[in-house]
Amino acid sequence: MSDNAAVVQEFFATLERGDLPGVIEFVGGEIDWQSPVTGTHPPEISWSSIRRTKQEVAAFFKELGQNVKPEGFELFKISAHDDRVVVEGKNRGTVRKTGRTYEHEWVMIFSIRDNKIIRFRHYYDTADLVGAFQGD
């Protein structure tokens, strides 16, 4: 496993433990953190704005946690080349407002420099998540 892949794997292990301060330590001083819905996100996915600093990434996780109760994730594959690490996975959760659950597969692309995440992209289909926010 490459050093960069190991950084990302440890990032996920820290996230799984619920150690938010530890997760933020993986983030570089300047970061480009986005998902495909950034800028055009459905109102239900309010946390999906561009993040440029550690503090903003911490706010991302806080906003996410206020809206969604994570119930686990599974990493299918981690691939690394140069500074890029691509992770395929799946996560599950419950929307706090409606009590409805969701599950979706995703791809995340990390760029690593000096063992820190400097760029992050999260690609997923928002339909299941938005449906869980809308209730019955």
Q: For the CA atoms of 14, 56, 130, 125, what is the dihedral angle to 10 degrees?
A: -70
Task: From first to last of the 136 residues of the chain, give the pLDDT tens digit.
Answer: 689 999 999 999 999 999 999 999 999 999 999 987 655 566 667 777 889 999 999 999 998 899 889 998 999 999 999 999 999 999 999 989 899 888 989 999 999 999 999 999 998 877 777 777 886 5
State the pTM of this model.
0.89
Compute CA distances 135 → 10, 93, 99, whole Å: 35, 14, 8
13 CB-near residues (< 8 Å, 6+ apart): none
For strand 84-95 and strand 101-113, is the pairing parallel, antiparallel, or unpaired?
antiparallel
Structural class in CATH, domain 3-134: alpha beta
First-to-last CA distance in the chain?
45
